[in-house]
């Protein structure tokens, strides 16, 4: 099994197709609880993103997808697997009106960019091509040409994201070799 989160990358500019959801997308919808005791294999986890409530996600989304959603994305339980399965599926970023606090932190911990931009959610449609500048805090809708404000990712969060998540970032900082 490859440890996707341990791969370093530099991605302050992300481009991808939008997959649009509504409000209150909870962690059980993102990663169904029935798999919690079945597998810890991250590649296997990725095969179950949204399968119970949004089965078309697995058929129509692809690596590099940018999820856009309404309020309270990631509400529900504090399971880290919800953010992890999105990373291993290949979701490039999540843009929402707001997040459940624990999901937001879990996403950063696994290297998934999470951006707040209500205007992007309001002014983008499913399958729009979006370009996200994490450091500048700008999202551009390629279809409309509109540029919208978003949260700027602070430098320390960009270091974690570019380091592949918190654990790989800290290992690198501390010079700890993975065995």
Going from N- to C-terminal start, the domains of the chain cover 4-174
Q: How many CB atoms lie within 10 A of CB 118?
A: 16
Return d(Cα 76, Cα 122) in angstroms, integer.
24
Alpha helices in 19-177 (DSSP H): 27-30, 42-46, 56-60, 81-89, 101-109, 118-122, 155-162, 166-174
Q: What pLDDT score does 11 carry?
A: 62
Q: What pLDDT score does 41 carry?
A: 82
Residue 64 DSSP symbol: T
Mean pLDDT by 10 residues, the chain (179 residues): 42 92 96 85 89 92 97 93 95 98 96 97 97 96 97 93 93 82
Contact status, residue 131 vs residue 139, Cβ threshold 8 Å: yes
Structure tokens at 101: 């606090």
Q: What pLDDT score does 179 carry?
A: 61
> Which residue, chain included where needed, has tokens 């078309």?
56
Instruction: Name the CATH topology of 4-174.
Output: Aconitase; domain 4 (3.20.19)
């Amino acid at each position: 099994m490859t440890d996707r989160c341990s791969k370093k990358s530099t991605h302050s500019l992300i481009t991808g197709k939008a997959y649009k959801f509504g409000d209150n997308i909870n962690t059980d919808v993102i990663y169904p609880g029935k798999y919690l005791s079945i597998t810890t294999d991250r590649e296997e986890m990725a095969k179950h993103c949204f399968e119970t409530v949004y089965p078309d996600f697995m058929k129509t989304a692809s690596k590099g997808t940018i999820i856009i959603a309404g309020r309270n994305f990631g509400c529900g339980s504090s399971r880290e697997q919800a953010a992890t399965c999105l990373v291993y599926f290949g979701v490039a970023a999540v843009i929402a009106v707001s997040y459940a606090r624990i999901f937001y932190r879990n996403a950063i911990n696994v290297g998934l960019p999470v951006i707040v931009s209500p205007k992007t959610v309001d002014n983008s449609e499913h399958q729009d091509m979006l370009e996200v500048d994490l450091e500048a805090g700008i999202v551009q809708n390629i279809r409309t040409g509109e540029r919208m404000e978003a949260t700027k990712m602070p430098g320390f969060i960009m270091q974690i994201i570019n380091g592949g998540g918190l654990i790989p970032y800290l290992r690198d900082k501390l010079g700890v070799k993975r065995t």
